[in-house]
Structure 1
């Protein structure tokens, strides 16, 4: 409301005018957005920086910008960066003005412009197996960038991207191919589409199967081995003087190296599993053998303990005694060791004294001639190189009608 009075009469004034109501609101803080919403872009891409004031729709705004590179700052709410360069990197913020009222400055949004990236192509194999395919994977680094679609090409001069007639398309960035050729890829994003540089090319060839089929053998050829033993798993390809690279496939927890043999110096149950192999010609990496049949390796964590029997267990003085030592796998390369159990009365225990010619015998039996006294015996077995030994058997006694043997 307002009223007036005469300058020469301080007591004379008009009445108050009718009331006029002015309404308004607090100006919201603007927000800077990017379209597309990538804070990491590359040299040559186009991006729009936009200033948005929520709740200010329909009003006549003038905009002010603080930006990394703005020779002539615009007064509109959009700033379009065409073919960005590294100098466009930096922070952008804005505020709005309407008449004499100003909003706050927006928070700063940071834009990073980097050199044009190069796509990366990876193949899970460089040779297509018979009746199969090879998987190709294309990617653009750094992983923080987004929005990429991938385009695939075969042969150097071809500019036509592959279609579903040429390959099986999986998730974005991965395809499977079954044709030979020189493959490359690139990434693209935005509208109009911005392309990365092409990846390096990868040549995919056909696998030719050689007639030689490998054989997997175990040395020594024991069906079961024990923890701590040494064994070699070998891949043998017979025929010709071809030099081979070797590939193993196993379900054991420890993988075999890509060599023709895998020497396990101290086996454990983690080495148990099926083993098979194939060869790849060194002179032609696209030519391979078939997979060999699988061989099963079983490693027991239990250390074997032989069982000793004596016959007869009662005898007349001077008769002969036969000792028999039995292991769990009797035909698996064991040699045998024979001992007399010598009691140590002070320690209430026994020590073992090797019998004559009782070291590493090939036979699992041992004969003692002319025994006259009661005595105790034990045995154990050993095999391999370096030699692995079982535990000693439990002692067994031969009882004589005479007295105990004197020590």
Structure 2
């Protein structure tokens, strides 16, 4: 007998959503000097539907682990030394290690006092008139102990000068350019641009860019020997100030102060106006803050640490900042130098919407983070409820496999000859019992197309026939 089988198929599209984003390592403060405390942060974000997943963090330097896996995404180095320099990475994993991701490396250089020097103007203005003098200074950290021989460059070409201060006594047009300095064992400074003009009136400004919270100073400067009437200052086409002085001050600037400024002066004798313009850039003093939370999954009795994370502009890296924290709009920690807020044994009452605020010491620049909602769960000894959506499908799949395997084994097991119980029948001299008829049938299934293999199964079919003599005849 031939048995033909059919194969049934179905398909389904499966999409896999990222559990958490690729981690990124950040360092605070941005410029790291010997002896300071440094905090590395491993930043990642969980998918919205898996916000309660417990993540673990580890940190590496040059490929070697420097902090074992734990719930904290912070790694602090107290009183760093030059030997702490290296390439740092962090790794994030789930508690079962089923998902694991590593950040890109960040080269962190712990420097001594020999930071990259910077060029400053001692005479304040970057734009001057011909025949005026200007003095530049090459500044490094006061505790620098390296070689004290300086080198000066204009437009990347070395010029005479071996001291910290470089002076141009009577400027010429060809003195315009980009000036840099260096020491023998240091990096070269960033350039400072000097402009020399052969005009009657120029608009001078405090060094650009100006940073948030600083004062922008504009000076409508004219050549000596000429008598001028009042100065008028414009931003774009809008008049900002008009008076007999030469200077205009804009206090506590923010990004809206950026733009093109113009000043005009009228010569008293001829009433001829002279004008000049300058473009002003206002840079961010520090980035908008974010709250970083460790650990992600919080229950009653845990220790919670929040970090108000921001980054200072490199050229203002030594600006002192103050931090404060709020819950549901109410202050829970006053302004101070610490960017962390810590609760050693949290309770359900600590749940709420948290924000942090960062400001300069004098409060001219303030920025507030977005809110983060924190729910403190009760400690339970039972199975975590948030794992049920993941575990239930797995259990159902295992149960299905067990049932399928069991039924498959039963269907292939050859029938055993069993002794059936004797039927109760009337008896004569010759007792009659059950007549059992056994039949052996070999069942052979046809192979699928393209296959020559045959599958043979032996089965036993039995029946019981009950004879009862009701006529008295044999």
Q: TM-score range with shorter-chain normalisation?
A: 0.3 to 0.5
